[in-house]
Amino acid sequence: MLNNIFELEKAALAIRKQLLKLCTMQSIHIGGDLSITDIMTFLWQYQMVYDPANIKSENRDRFVLSKGHASAVVSFNQAAAGCFDAEDIFREYATDNGRFSMHSCGLVNPYIEVSTGSLGHGMPVACGIAAALRLKGNVQNRVYTVMGDGEQSEGSIWEAAMNAAHYKLGNLVAVVDHNGLEADGPLDAITGLGDIAEKYRAFGWDVHEFDGNDMNKIKDNFDALPPPDSQMPIAFICHTVKGKGVPFMENQTNWHAGKITESQYQACVKLLDEEFKRKWGI
C-alpha cells in the first residue's frame, strides 16, 4: 500500500498514462476514467482492506463499480494492487476470451465483486451487500461504490438511498463522480438534478463535498470516515473534471468515449509528466 500524497499522485499519474495507452488501442470511456482516476487510485492503492491472494476473505472491504463504464481505470488499479499484470489488460482488452472490456464482468474476472454496466444497478447491490455484512455480524469492513452524476437520475439509486438510511448502514460509502457531464451533454441540461449533496442529506446520509481530483482532499475525507459500525451511510460528492489531465479532453462531452492516435498519446504523456514535475519541483 502507498504511504503519502507524493506516492499516491505518482501512482495516479501512472494510471492516467496506462489509460491513454489503452486509448490508442481501443475506444474506451476515457473522459470518465480520467475524472475518477484519483479516487480510484486512492481506494485501491491506499484505502481498501483487500488481499489479492485471498479475494473471498470475509474480512475484506467490498467494491462495486456502479458507473460500470469506468472499468478500465478499475482494472489498472487492480493490477497496481497485485491482482494481475497491467500487460494482461493491454493484451486482453475487448478480445473474445479476455477478462477486460468496457464494462466489468465477474464471470471472467474473479476480482470483480459485481458485474455492472446498466446504470443505477451497482448502488442498490452495494446497499444489499452492506446490509448482509451487518446481518453476518461483520462490523469491521466497508462497502464502497462509485457512481456517476448522470446516474443519479435513476430511480433505483434513490430507492437504495432510502433503504441504506432506514437500515442505518454506516458501513456503506457511496462516491459520486460529479464532473457535470453525461454522455449526451451537460448534466443540468439533461436531468436537472440540482444539488445532489442536499438530496442525499434529505435522505438521511452523512454527506461530504470536496475536490475529487485533489489527493490531499481525498485523503483528508477518507481518513476522517467514522467507524464502519456507525449508523449513517456516507456520501462523498466529488467534484471532478471529465478528462482530467488532458487539456483537449477536459470538460468535453465528445470525450465521453473515444480513441486517440499515437502522436496524441505521446503529447499527452509529455504534458502529464511536465505538470507532475512542476508541481513537485523535480
pLDDT of 2 reads 86
CA nearest neighbour of 173 among 237, 217, 81: 237
Checking if the pLDDT of 191 tops 90, the result is: no
Query: Which region among 84-88, 112-116, 183-187, 269-273 has the lowest average model confidence (pLDDT)?
Result: 183-187
Checking if the pLDDT of 93 tops 90, the result is: yes
Determine the structural domain holding residue 138 and report its residue range.
5-280
Q: Which pLDDT band holds residue 3 (cuts at 50, 70, 90)?
A: confident
CA nearest neighbour of 212 among 177, 246, 184, 188: 177
Average pLDDT score over residue span 229-245: 98
pTM, two decimals, is 0.97
Query: Which region among 11-15, 192-196, 198-202 has the lowest average model confidence (pLDDT)?
Result: 192-196
- Determine what percent of the chain is predicted with pLDDT higher than 90: 93
**Which domain CATH number covers 139?**
3.40.50.970
Report the distance separating Cα 165 and Cα 204, nearest Å: 6
Q: Report the chain's mean pLDDT, rounded to a whole number.
A: 96
Q: Which residues of 128-163 are buried (b: 16+ CB within 10 A; e: fewer)?
A: bbbbebbeeebeebbbbbbbbbbbbbbebbbebbeb
Beta bridge partners of 144: 63, 173
Q: 253: phi > 0 → left, psi -120 to 50 → alpha, else beta; which? A: alpha
Q: State phi, psi for 59 to the nearest 5 degrees.
A: -95, 30
Helix (H, G, I), strand (E, B) or coil at 152: helix
The three cell numbers locating residue 221: 475525507
> Are 244 and 200 spatial neighbours (Cβ–Cβ below 8 Å)?
no
Amino acid, res. 57:
S
CA nearest neighbour of 127 among 66, 70, 177: 66
pLDDT of 86 reads 98
Sign of CA dihedral 37, 64, 151, 161: negative
Report the distance separating Cα 222 and Cα 208, nearest Å: 10
Total structural domains within the chain: 1
Q: Angle CA(181)–CA(16)–CA(36) in degrees, nearest 5?
A: 35
Average pLDDT score over residue span 149-173: 97
